[in-house]
Amino acid sequence: MKIQFTFYYNLYMDEKKNQGPPYFMRKIFILYPHTIIKGVYKEIIRNGYDAYIVEDHKIIFQFLKKYHHSILYINIDKFLTEEEWLSFTKKIIAHQDTKDTHIGIMTDARLKKKHLLHKYLLDVGITCGFISLTPNTKKILEVIIKILNANEAKGRRKFVRAQCIEGDSFNFIYNNNTHYGEIVDISLAGMCCILFDETLKLIPGMVIENMQLKLQGVISMVTGEVYGSREITEKKLLYVIVFNMDTIRPKGGENIINYICRRQEDFIKHDLDTYFETTTESKEEMGIKGDLRNKSNGLFIQEFNQELNVITDELEEIDDIINERKESI
């Protein structure tokens, strides 16, 4: 079983424990985002918010049931009528399994739907704003960030981390030799990784210059400092490397953000495939298109459970480490 799958499962099982913010980062689902929201989506991720785009209202309930204390933004300009969207939001808030969802509404300002403001704020009781969208992307982003901050959407983390896939790797030169490793997860702040050469030991405080990251084939150059490590097998160590933000070239930082956005999309697809493999409802009944994965959620869980607890809170607090170090400067 690959280490990144263990970390991925452990991370998201923790987030399902219903403890909610401010301890955990909230998941933010954007249902049928307008073009302008798709334009600022990357900036929402860059600002440290765990946001996902969902393009089918029929399946949003399964995400909200699974990820408690989520934030859901709904574009009420598509597919359903005004009354149907009102009923839809009321159903979410009234349902036992989704009542802890915080809801926000988005609508094109040109459609003049402010007559619904009173209904959503007072009758439905949404808590994440009724946003009339304008072409001013900077202003829209500021409004969204303020609302997310007010709802403690980040929890204790400051950066969105993406679980990496097979083939995501890094290399660096040390003592005139090139060393290679596998990236387990990554954010703008740093990464968790393992070295292929188990005889090489990285020491906390060690600065590694000119590391070459390869994320889905895209190359980025970074400098990082080894924060610490954790033994995951008798011979193998999982390292936490914190990036020197001042040395990441603009293109490198953009590559990481683009990669995280792609992995957010993959996460939604994976969750949907898993859901339809374990539910009695067929994907045709739910209006979902696309092939399902061959491996069931139960089998994933059985495999993951064999390696649980190898990742500790020390790795969960990488973002806190960054903040502590900034404060000490």
Q: Are 263 and 242 in contact (CB under 8 A)?
A: no
Averaged pLDDT for residues 227-241:
87
Is 70 exceeded by the pLDDT of residue 201?
yes
pLDDT tens digits, 42-69? 999 999 999 999 998 988 998 999 999 9
pLDDT tens digits, 76-119? 999 899 999 999 999 999 999 999 999 999 999 888 888 899 99
pLDDT computed for residue 181 by the predictor: 95
Averaged pLDDT for residues 239-245:
90
Q: Which residue has the higher pLDDT, 179 or 5?
A: 179
pLDDT tens digits, 125-169? 999 999 999 999 999 999 999 999 999 898 888 899 999 999 999
- Beta-carbon contacts of 239 under 8 Å, excluding residues fewer than 6 positions away, are 192, 193, 194, 195, 202, 226, 228, 229
pLDDT tens digits, 16-47? 444 444 457 899 999 999 999 999 999 999 99
Q: Are 186 and 239 in contact (CB under 8 A)?
A: no
How far apart are the C-alpha atoms of 168 and 177, rounded to whole Å?
20
pLDDT computed for residue 6 by the predictor: 38
How far apart are the C-alpha atoms of 126 and 129, rounded to whole Å?
7
pLDDT computed for residue 112 by the predictor: 86
List the domains of the chain with CATH numbers.
1-13+158-329 (2.40.10.220), 26-150 (3.40.50.2300)
How far apart are the C-alpha atoms of 36 and 79, rounded to whole Å?
18
**CB neighbours of residue 204 within 10 Å:** 11
- Beta-carbon contacts of 327 under 8 Å, excluding residues fewer than 6 positions away, are none
Averaged pLDDT for residues 3-11:
38
- Two tokens, residue 278: 């374990």
Q: Where are the beta strands (DSSP E) in the chain?
A: 27-31, 50-54, 71-75, 102-108, 130-133, 162-163, 169-174, 177-186, 190-195, 207-215, 218-231, 237-243
Instruction: Using pLDDT thresholds of 50, 70 and 90, give the confidence band for residue 245.
Output: confident
pLDDT computed for residue 320 by the predictor: 54
**Residue 74: closest CA among 102, 97, 114:** 102
pLDDT computed for residue 322 by the predictor: 52
Is 80 exceeded by the pLDDT of residue 5?
no
pTM: 0.76
pLDDT tens digits, 277-329? 655 544 443 333 333 333 344 443 444 444 433 343 444 445 555 555 555 54
* Average pLDDT score over the chain: 80
How far apart are the C-alpha atoms of 173 and 184, rounded to whole Å?
20
